[in-house]
Structure 1
Amino acid sequence: MIRILSKSPDQRFKLRDERITWYKFLVLSSFLVCFGIQAYANEKTVIKLTDDISEVFVATKFDFFLDTAGIYSVQEISDERFQGKFQKVTDTHVLFDYLDSPVWMRFTIENNQNKYNHSWYLESWGFDIKNITFYFPNPDGSFRPSNAGFEMPFEERDIKHKNFNYFLDIRPNETKTFYIKVKRSYNQEFSFHLRTNEKFLVHSLNEYFLLGIYYGVLIIILTFNLYLFYRLRDTLYLYFPCLILACIWFSLGRDGLGFQFLWPNAPWVNKLNNERFIELIIILSTLLFSDRFVQKYTKSKRVLTFTYIAILLKVILFLSQIFIYELNYIAYIIITIIILSIPFSMGLYALIKAKIYSWSYTFAYLCLFLVIVYSYSKSIQLFSSPVINWYFVYPVIFMEMILFSFSIFNQLKFLQNQFLEANEEKTIALERNNQLTQELNSKLKEKVRARTEKIERMAADLAQKNVELQTTNLKLEELNSQVTQINNYLTENNELLKSSVDEVTKDLALMKGLDFEDFKNVFPDKETCLKFLSELKWKDKYHCKKCEYNKFMEGPNHGKRCKNCNYYESPTVDTLFHKLKFPIEKAFYILYLSNRKDVDLTLNELSEILELRRETCWAFKNKIAQAMEKVGHNTDLNGWEALALVHLE
């Protein structure tokens, strides 16, 4: 300042003029720079097509405008005065936040190709776009809209494809500007591609082919497990198909094939699929399958308890997310994994404790964790490509199903080995029994052989004595007196022998020495009694009571059914045991006792032995007495079984 004041007035005016000139230059330069930047910003982004191009990724070659009020029409947006409000897209997300406001996108295509046999398609990948409207320019300056989105019926699309595809009618040396209006449900990453007709067909066929392989393998695994459930009736093979169906539903809703082929006129299913309902079904099915898988190796009540606790906690978390308070997705994933880890850890510990090492089951469960994390891949970008981010969950699910299938195969092999070991032990036991039987048969044969030899020796002795008797007969006349004495002696011996035979016969008739326990060994149950009664009743020949036909079929409880009139006759019909109100084996014993004279039990004693009421014992003994009176039964000559076939009614 002192230096300026020390100069002359002319010098000071000259210096001031120079400064003013510099100020004007700086202001002008700044204006030109700002104008240039604004002009560059307002300049349309042009996509140029050449002969060597068949596919272009154009997600970052758009211009966008945020319609915060949602009031503009395509005519207003396409007006020349509105073009300066568009901004260049620098990120595939276009912009973050403002999820309630529609986003307009503008792209201009300049076709510099010389080939007239190429047609171009714009593909907007991303099934879960809420609403997308594509505006085609008409020659008169108007636009034709094409609406699509997971909130709108599938049949309204121009091209019936799971992705949003639009045919661009742009010929060589033409330049056209197109507009897209998008409504989002989250900060999604957009993926727009320009493809020729040939490239579009190859890409679509490959995509559908790979998805067909994916779903085909899952359906094969599903069918196989349903067959196992039909044959084995084990809930393990029911929980696993539920898990597979949930994963198929999850995948169909994720890639858009379900909307295209299964529920094209029910867009609300898409909204249901995008919520956490499918994830809940996958987790619950996995928990039930995992618990049953562990229980087939080792019966662990602790694993079952923690599984039910995990199911309850997961349902509570699911309901809380929808109706109470929605957690951040990272917190939600962490809590879900913790809930799943508890029964998984307990099950893994139980398997290791039982010395069962199922690596396929362990890695399949880890794949489930990865599926849960990757189900939020629309928010977690692990790869640079949004398509890979979206579809990476498919090979993970595929691997999970394959690993779970391997674990089931290993378990079937384990159970088969156990079955073979049990059969081997049974075979060894049978071989031992056969060996003992053979030894007993050998001993019995030896005894029979010895007895036969003894009888043969006795026969030889008798033959020899017979010869001697014949020789002796010549001397009978001389020994008549002696023979008479011998005959008298033989007569006395014969009378004694006859008396002994009568006593044995009487003992056999009375069947002395059998108490109730011994009798139960002979007739232990109802089945044995009915079989004995059936054989006794029809020992001569069967004749139908209705039609006298003599051919029959075996019926239940050892009854017989007539082949002519189909009449069924029970063994107890027309016997002493008809309409019996207490166990037949006890009635057999009462009848048996009625034919014995050496045992005289009181009704109280008989009631205590048979554990029957005193009146019941009296009633049946009275029935036996009536039967004896009816047929004139002789207890000395007739066996007790003769009374069994007496019919009193």
Structure 2
Amino acid sequence: MNNKNRYRIKLLIFFIVIFTTKLYAKTESGSVIQLNDSSSQIHITTHFDYFLDTTSKYAIDEIASSNFEDHFRRVTDPHVLFDYLDSHIWLRITINNNQSIHNHSWYLESWGFDIKNITFYFPRPDGTFEPSTAGFERPFNERNVKHKNFNYFLDLRPSETKTYFLKVKRSYNQEFSFHLRTNEKFLSHSLNEYFLLGIYYGVLVIILTFNLYLFYRLRDTLYLYFPCLIIACIWFSLGRDGLGFQYLWPNSPWVNKLNNEKVIELIIILATLLFSERYIQKYTKNKNVMKLTVWAIMLKLLLFVNQLFIFELNYIHYIVITIIILLVPFSLGLYSLIKAKIYSWSYVFAYLCLFLVIVYSYSRSIQLFDNPVLNWYFVYPVIFAEMILFSFSIFNQLKFLQNQFLEANAEKTIALEKNNQLTQELNSKLKEKVRARTEKIEKMAADLAQKNVELQTTNVKLQELNSQVTQLNNYLQENNEKLRSSVEEVTKDLALMKGLGFDDFKNVFPDKDTCLKFLSELKWKDKYHCKKCEYNKFTEGPNHGKRCRNCNYYESPTVDTLFHKLKFPIEKAFYILYLSNRKDVDLTLNELSEILELRRETCWAFKNKISQAMEKVGHNTDLNGWETLALVHLE
């Protein structure tokens, strides 16, 4: 065989291979779903053809053209593609309605609330397509069918064949689940799903209400942390199944992103740590559990901030660290319970459920079931079991506290009985003492009555003696008048006698208070009149002064006297004045300064002041006492 023939054979084989590949590709990408009378729902995820649009430059007109048909490939895995999260995926499905029933309507349902963006292209009669865009990043009210999943009416009549396109953008390598359902099957499926979710949320709300009531009645933070945990789980579930987006925040799609940023998981873990710590402390006081709980909360917050803003860990590492953070205070708390001989299995299993929820929620690669819906909703019964088990733990704790209360009441009753017995014994003794005391008092009363009679007799005699004493007092007053006049004469004589020494004089005027009192009595011996307003009523003030009741002016005993503005002790000034009025005492200034312990100039100045006072009033030392000079005012 020559080279020319060989070349022709090779070229023929090449064209055969190319033709076969194109024919195979066309056959693979051109699959058609047949609807017959026995069909009511069909799982069609792997019946789609897909095209990866890495440049996002193609429009629906280009995608739907016959020239683009060979670019599609058959979907062989529910994930369609791994990676390429920033690229759009075009999905194509062709459906042929072979049903003879004309009253069936068909819906395409794309299950999975967290599809980032999905656009359904419905074929028009003129060959164009009508888009319908939805997704968890878009407002809920943009959807034609107001349902938490993505549902599209196909408008496919018997004997009709139509091709539909979807443009999808994901947020992670999620597993898709597409279904074809009749209107009746769609309603039945939706009602069942909403019914089961209603039971789930209803039970959680009942548990939440009961614990809020316990918090209202008992004012214990344990029954506040648990409602926080329940609310976080409800929020987590509402964000996971799409009911929250449908009913609570339809016009705020940013809440969906918040729900996916591990915020809810953070709240669940923090509430669980606080609830667990308080739960342990109700049984046994362990400060180490409290310290580890505080450290666990701080570490979890740091891990949360690191995941969002610093360095995002691989989800396996993140889950392992999170479980360790939870496990350390939980292990110590469980050890404390066992040490106190308290075995709360519901508490342990509830914590295991929490670990399972964390692992399963953030490990999207785990697929326990073939059905993606079951895989997605698997956390719901686990959360449900967790809440029920934690509730059982609270009930067991309430029973434990009630038993402690009953034991305390029993001990209190025994103590009260002993107390009552002692009280009765004391009452008996007290009654006996009261009776004896009463007899004694009655006897004393009889004695007092007798003595009262004697006292009355004595009073009569005293009245007689009183009249006699009155007569004697009158007689004494007459004699006192005579004595007073005699004393004045004796005083004048004493004034001429030898003076007293300073020590003897100090016995008469020992201190400042005595001098001020003497000066006050001397100054106001006749009657008080206010210097400011001439009012004659006063109240006693400090240092024997007097304060006017009308103008509140306070007057010191030294004002307008020889001792006004005195710079040395007044009792020493009294003695200098006393000596100045004595003829028989002639002390030099040096002697006077030494006796009084004053400076010579001070003694001289005050003696000079006394001399001025004598000249002012014409004082006669033979006839006048030294005290008359005290009231002389020189200024």
TM range (shorter): 0.5 to 0.7
Aligned residue in 1 for 2:293:
307
Against the structure 1 CA distance between its residues 501 and 170, is the aligned structure 2 distance closer, same or farther, given a 3 Å change threshold?
A: farther
Question: 1:273 aligned to 2:259?
Answer: yes
Give 1:206's aligned residue: 192
Q: Does the CA contact (< 8 Å) of 1:226 and 1:238 recur in 2?
A: yes
Q: Which residue of 2 aligns with 1:382?
A: 368
Q: Is the 8 A contact 1:131 1:151 kept in 2?
A: yes
Asked if residue 35 in structure 1 is aligned to residue 19 in structure 2, the reply is yes
Selected match of 1:363 from 326, 330, 349: 349
Match of 1:182 among 157, 165, 168: 168
Q: Is the 8 A contact 2:221 2:278 kept in 1?
A: yes
1:247/1:494 CA distance change after superposition, 3 Å:
closer
Root-mean-square deviation (CA, aligned residues, Å) is 2.9
Q: Does 1:52 pair with 2:38?
A: yes
Task: State the AA in 2 paired with 1:222.
Answer: L
Partner SS, residue 60 of structure 1 = helix
Identity %: 73
Q: Which amino acid aligns with 1:231?
A: R
Superposition TM-score, scaled by structure 2 size: 0.67
Residues in 1 aligned to 2:407 and 2:11: alpha-carbon distance in whole angstroms = 97
User: 2:111–2:178: 8 Å Cα contact kept in structure 1?
Assistant: yes
Instruction: Between 298-307 and 369-378, report the one with greater CA deviation.
Output: 369-378
**What runs of 5+ residues in structure 1 fail to find an aligned partner?**
1-15, 456-492, 503-649
Contact between 1:64 and 1:106, CA under 8 Å: does it hold in 2? yes
- 2:89 paired residue number: 103
Q: Distance in 2 between matches of 1:353 and 1:169?
A: 68
Contact 1:42 1:85 in 2 (8 A): no
Q: Which whole-Å CA distance do the structure 1 matches of 2:52 and 2:176 have between them?
A: 15
The residue type equivalent to 2:308 in the other structure is: I
- The CA distance in 2 between the partners of 1:402 and 1:165, in whole Å, is 34
2:55 alignment counterpart: 69
- Displacement of 1:501 in angstroms is 11
Contact 1:163 1:256 in 2 (8 A): yes
Question: Kindly tell me: are residues 285 and 499 of structure 1, through their superposed partners in 2, closer, same or farther at Cα, counting changes over 3 Å?
Answer: same
Question: Residue 289 in 1 paired to residue 242 in 2?
Answer: no
Matched, 1:354 2:340: yes
Q: CA deviation at 1:426?
A: 0.8
Q: CA deviation at 1:136?
A: 0.2
Equivalence for 2:451: 498
Q: Structure 1 residue 418 and structure 2 residue 418: aligned?
A: no
Structure of greater Rg: 2
- One of 206, 217, 235 as aligned partner of 1:220: 206
Pairwise mapping of residues 110-129 of structure 1 onto structure 2 (< 5 A)?
A: 110-129=96-115
| Secondary structure, aligned partner of 1:116 | coil
User: Equivalent residue for 1:595?
Assistant: none
Aligned residues: 451
Deviations 1:329-352 (A, max 9, x none): 111101110111111011111111
Following the alignment from structure 1 to structure 2, what is the Cα–Cα distance between the partners of residues 66 and 78?
14
Tell whether the 8 Å contact from 1:378 to 1:389 is kept in structure 2 after alignment: no
In structure 1, distance between residues paired with 2:334 and 2:447: 88
Q: Is the 8 A contact 2:315 2:363 kept in 1?
A: no
User: C-alpha distance in 1, partners of 2:52/2:265?
Assistant: 33
Question: What is the SS of the residue equivalent to 2:337?
Answer: helix
Counterpart mapping for 1:233-272 below 5 A: 233-272=219-258
* Corresponding residue for residue 566 of structure 1: none
Aligned positions of 1:537-576 closer than 5 A = none
Cα distance, 1:500–1:434 mapped onto 2, change above 3 Å: farther
2:67 is matched with which residue: 60, 78, 81?
Answer: 81
- Aligned-residue offset at 1:435: 2.5
Q: In the aligned structure 1, how far is the partner of 2:296 from the partner of 2:195?
A: 38
2:50, 2:73 within 8 Å by CA — same for their partners in 1? yes
Q: Kindly tell me: are residues 450 and 301 of structure 1, through their superposed partners in 2, closer, same or farther at Cα, counting changes over 3 Å? A: closer
Q: After TM superposition, give the deviation of residue 380 of structure 1 in Å.
A: 2.6
Matching residue's letter, 1:221: I
Seen in structure 2, the aligned counterparts of structure 1 residues 291 and 496 have a Cα distance that, compared at 3 Å, is: closer
Cα distance 1:495–1:181, how it changes in 2: closer, same or farther (>3 A)? closer
**Cα drift, residue 37 of structure 1:** 3.0
CA offsets 1:88-126 (integer angstroms, 9 cap, x no match):
111111111111111100000011111101110010001
Counterpart position of 1:409: 395
Of 23-32 and 324-333, the range deviating more from structure 2: 23-32
Q: Residue 166 of structure 1 aligns to a residue in which SS?
A: strand
Alpha carbons of structure 1 residues 433 and 79: separation in structure 2 relative to 1, 3 Å = same
Aligned equivalent of 2:421:
435
Counterpart in the other structure of 1:340: 326
After TM superposition, give the deviation of residue 444 of structure 1 in Å.
Answer: 6.8
8 Å CA contact 1:378–1:390 kept in 2: the answer is no
Decide whether aligned partners of structure 1 residues 216 and 495 sit closer, same or farther in structure 2, where only a CA change above 3 A counts.
closer
Aligned-pair distance for 1:45? 1.5
| Secondary structure of the corresponding residue to residue 45 of structure 2 | coil
- Shift of the alpha carbon at 1:32? 2.6
Q: Is the 8 A contact 2:316 2:363 kept in 1?
A: no
Displacement of 1:499 after TM fit? 9.1
* Correspondence for 2:495: none
Matched-pair contact (CA < 8 Å) for 1:377–1:389 = no
1:231 aligned to which of 217, 227, 239: 217
Matches within 5 A, 1:452-471: none
Task: Report if aligned partners of 2:107, 2:153 keep a CA contact under 8 Å in 1.
Answer: yes
Show structure 2 runs of 5+ residues with no match. 441-445, 456-635
**Is residue 2:350 matched to residue 1:397?**
no
1:345-377 CA-partner distances (Å, limit 9, x unpaired): 111111111111111111101111001011124
Q: Does 1:321 align with 2:274?
A: no
